[in-house]
Amino acid sequence: MSSKKPQPKPRRGLVAELQRRRVFRVTGAYVLVAWIVMQAGEIVFPAFELPNRALRLLILFLVAGLPVVVVLAWLLDVTPRGIRITARFHLSESEDAMPDPTGESPEPTGALGRSLEMILLGMGIPLFAFAALFIALTWRGGDTHPAPPTPALAPPPVPAGPSLAVLPLEDLSTGGDDAGFFAHGMHEDILTHLARVQHLKLISRTSVLGYEGTTKSARQIGRELGVGHVLEGSVRRTPTHVRVTAQLIHSESDEHVWADQFDAELEDVFAVQTHIARAIARALEAELVTPTASPSETSGSVVPAAYDAYLKARDLHRSLDAGDRVALQKTQRLYEEARHLDERLAAAWLQLGILHAEIRWFGFDPSAERAALARHCLDRARELGVEDDRLALAEGIFAYYVDSDFGKALLRFDDAARRAPGNSEAHFYRAMILRRSGALDAALDAQRVALELDPLNLAQQDEYALTLALADHLHEAREELIEILHKDPDRRRARLHKWQLDLELEGSPKALLSEILAADRSSWRDPDYALLETVAILANDPQAAYDAVLARPLPHTDPGHRSYQLARLAGMAGRAGERARLLTVARSQFEGLLTSAPDAFPEPERRRIRALFALQEHDYETALDLQRQLAEAVPIERDLVVGAAPLWDLLHAELVADRPVDAARTLERLDSRVALGSIPFGGYYVLTHWPEYTHARQSPTFTAALERLRPDYSLGWKVRD
């Protein structure tokens, strides 16, 4: 007989081996369980106010756990005797198995039980790593208390490079009536020169003014402002001469690095400022990693009386309230006096041009004549010769305030920041242009630079909080506002914005109404009463706002505005007769004001007033037509800050007029540019609770738009009483 040579048994394929080891089953089950865990985290984490990074870390670790589970499923087997290394099999076509190398008969557990145990084993590793890292990031050292939620509340760290705070100069002059204007002006001009030194972090004037006359040590000041050096000094002035002493101190060691004294005739004051700035720059130069640009020379003499008038004007200019017409006029007179006494004082021309632009921008005089005055002053300053960085800043302000040319303004502010990197104003104005253009992340970056240079400037911190809100960082914005109010409890604007965010984030109008009514209303303006009206209506207590508005002193508002607000509140309280009477009174008062003072309201405001009355009188077509004109006059796509308010007013009109499809389109357009919760007297809470929108909310189209835009924080709203 012929015998055949035995053939080797074929090996099983990779796919079959993966199936035998249940790798596919375990992987699929892991993906399903991980997805469920991520969905649970997305719901639970916001409810416990965990930071956003917690959910991101969870997702990353769960994804990283997938290959771990695959490897464990391949290598290990879960049996009744515990976890064992999976036996290697050579299976023939008849599926006969080689004996277990341990000598024991295999007794595998059920497929489902094996898969679940392997998933728990594999998922435990990434979840444990996630918990360990999250705890390490959340707790400091061995401290059991969580780290502060907002790093902005901590003092700024001392930077590695050179940094400097120039304290206000002590005024040692005797006699005279300059009230410290000369010392203040000398201090600011030294700062202006030092701002041009590259790679030097220079704290701005606003933040150092609080240290005037301080008894704090240089070490304490340095730690509070986050700087490595402090400059202190004094100025003594006589009718013809000036003496300035200065000493540079290393803040951490409290040791003197440099000291000097400067004497000059008063008419050479600009040269003295330049000498001081250059000497300080040389003293710091050893710490600079790259060569620095030295402060530019300011040449020419000055008429002392003209310089005095200029310093007084600039001192007033720095603290101007945009609503104080009297202070604006006084500042203008002083600049003009300085210019009259010394026609070649370029700084006076430059600042007067900026003031004319501001007067136009803030609505006191929007005429073409005022724009021409601003342009003439700027041209004259350019002819006389001013430093490039100051000229670039002024040209940027002119392009911003007069021409509304945001592109040109941004270029000039960029140039000013490049030439004087220590000038916080240049960075701040850059941020304002970027914000209006809708580049919110870039605006926040520029504002952080400005605040690093001017950490105690509450006005800039106000604007930073607003940008955070516009960019949908509502919780961070509220923390900034709380910090501002901690520093200055009477800061009206910050308090108003905080109340707005409280309404949006907490969704508890009754509690907020009690807080607002308990506040001091002596400094309130129209926006404060508008928010009170909004909150009272949402709290179903319009009478409370009605009483507060009725008690409002008339000098703080125009009669027509107050009567219109009272009419709305009376209507919300169900008093139709009183509402109709007050609307008639309000219309008569507005028309009388426009007749007696035609310039009282610019044309956009007149259209808005007509639209409001048309809406109250149920003339919806007229109201919608006027609101569309206003929304398209300054589209939100061109100017985010100005364009948001008329677009919200259009949305309000469409909802009251029961045009839900149009309202859904407007809502999507608005939300694509700004966070709804940042809109004054608006927001997602108002959209979902305002009584006049009840019928529109029954529309499937508008309801679907609301659901798509629902913010996570709405899950934490309290149930309305």
Sign of CA dihedral 519, 520, 526, 527: negative
Does 703 lie in the same domain as 586? yes
181-190, 207-216, 390-399, 666-675: segment of lowest average pLDDT:
181-190
Using alpha carbons only, give the angle 595, 569, 513 rounded to the nearest 5 degrees: 125
The reported pLDDT for the residue numbered 199 is 78
Note whether residue 541 is domain-resident.
no
Instruction: Answer yes or no: is pLDDT of 477 > 80.
Output: yes
Which is more confident, 711 or 84?
A: 711
Note whether residue 149 is domain-resident.
no
The SS3 call for residue 463 is helix
Q: Which domain CATH number covers 628?
A: 1.25.40
Task: With cut-offs at 50, 70 and 90, classify the pLDDT of residue 93.
Answer: very low
Note whether residue 656 is domain-resident.
yes
Which is more confident, 34 or 712?
A: 712
Residue 151, token pair as written in the block: 């790093």
Task: With cut-offs at 50, 70 and 90, classify the pLDDT of residue 37.
Answer: confident
The size of the chain, in residues, is 721
Domain count, the chain: 4
Does 212 lie in the same domain as 344? no
Note whether residue 86 is domain-resident.
yes
Instruction: Answer yes or no: is pLDDT of 284 > 70.
Output: no
Instruction: Answer yes or no: is pLDDT of 307 > 90.
Output: no
Task: With cut-offs at 50, 70 and 90, classify the pLDDT of residue 103.
Answer: very low
State which of 518, 533, 556 marks the end of a domain: 518
By C-alpha distance, which of 42, 150, 100 is closest to 484?
A: 150
1-15, 140-154, 391-405: segment of lowest average pLDDT:
140-154
Q: Rounded to an integer, what distance in angstroms lies between the CA atom of residue 421 and that of residue 9?
A: 79
168-182, 240-254, 575-589: segment of lowest average pLDDT:
168-182
Does 453 lie in the same domain as 328? yes
Q: What percent of the chain stands above pLDDT 90?
A: 41
Instruction: Answer yes or no: is pLDDT of 2 > 60.
Output: no
The reported pLDDT for the residue numbered 35 is 78
- Give the residue numbers spanning the domain of 420: 321-518
Residue 484: CB partners within 8 Å, gap ≥ 6? Answer: 458, 461, 462, 465, 491, 494
Does 508 lie in the same domain as 435? yes
Instruction: Answer yes or no: is pLDDT of 544 > 90.
Output: yes
The reported pLDDT for the residue numbered 517 is 94
Task: With cut-offs at 50, 70 and 90, classify the pLDDT of residue 109.
Answer: very low
State which of 123, 138, 153 marks the end of a domain: 138
Note whether residue 152 is domain-resident.
no
Instruction: Answer yes or no: is pLDDT of 309 > 80.
Output: yes
Radius of gyration of the chain (CA): 34
pTM of the model: 0.71
Beta bridge partners of 244: 235, 262
Which is more confident, 190 or 116?
A: 190
The reported pLDDT for the residue numbered 163 is 87
Note whether residue 158 is domain-resident.
no
| Cα-based distances in Å from 173 to 178, 237, 303 | 10, 5, 19
Structural contact between residues 91 and 12, judged by C-beta atoms closer than 8 angstroms: yes
Q: Which domain CATH number covers 174?
A: 3.40.50.10070
By C-alpha distance, which of 496, 498, 503, 499 is closest to 526?
A: 496
Task: With cut-offs at 50, 70 and 90, classify the pLDDT of residue 648.
Answer: very high
Q: Rounded to an integer, what distance in angstroms lies between the CA atom of residue 582 and that of residue 335?
A: 46
Does 167 lie in the same domain as 130? no
The reported pLDDT for the residue numbered 661 is 94
The reported pLDDT for the residue numbered 651 is 96
**Stretch 675-700: mean pLDDT:** 91
Task: With cut-offs at 50, 70 and 90, classify the pLDDT of residue 82.
Answer: low
Does 353 lie in the same domain as 474? yes
pLDDT tens for 124-137 read 565 556 565 555 54
29-43, 96-110, 500-514: segment of lowest average pLDDT:
96-110
Note whether residue 636 is domain-resident.
yes
Instruction: Answer yes or no: is pLDDT of 157 > 50.
Output: no
Does 551 lie in the same domain as 685? yes
Using alpha carbons only, give the angle 551, 556, 557 rounded to the nearest 5 degrees: 90
Instruction: Answer yes or no: is pLDDT of 86 > 70.
Output: no
Note whether residue 46 is domain-resident.
yes
Residue 314, token pair as written in the block: 């600039």
Task: With cut-offs at 50, 70 and 90, classify the pLDDT of residue 570.
Answer: very high
Does 123 lie in the same domain as 167? no
Does 470 lie in the same domain as 378? yes
The reported pLDDT for the residue numbered 153 is 35
Counts of helices then strands in the chain (DSSP H, E): 30, 8
The reported pLDDT for the residue numbered 501 is 96
Mean pLDDT of the chain, nearest integer: 80
Instruction: Answer yes or no: is pLDDT of 645 > 80.
Output: yes
**Stretch 675-683: mean pLDDT:** 87
148-157, 298-307, 390-399: segment of lowest average pLDDT:
148-157
Which is more confident, 110 or 422?
A: 422
**Residue 635: Cβ within 10 Å count:** 15
**Stretch 499-503: mean pLDDT:** 95
277-281, 637-641, 680-684, 710-714: segment of lowest average pLDDT:
277-281
**Stretch 150-178: mean pLDDT:** 63
Does 367 lie in the same domain as 436? yes
**Stretch 291-301: mean pLDDT:** 51
pLDDT tens for 315-349 read 888 777 666 778 888 999 999 999 999 999 999 99
Instruction: Answer yes or no: is pLDDT of 123 > 70.
Output: no
State which of 105, 138, 171 marks the end of a domain: 138
Does 683 lie in the same domain as 591? yes
H or E segment and range at residue 633 = helix 620-633
pLDDT tens for 359-416 read 988 878 888 899 999 999 999 999 988 888 899 999 999 999 999 899 999 999 999 9
The reported pLDDT for the residue numbered 156 is 42
Q: Which domain CATH number covers 343?
A: 1.25.40.10
Does 43 lie in the same domain as 134? yes
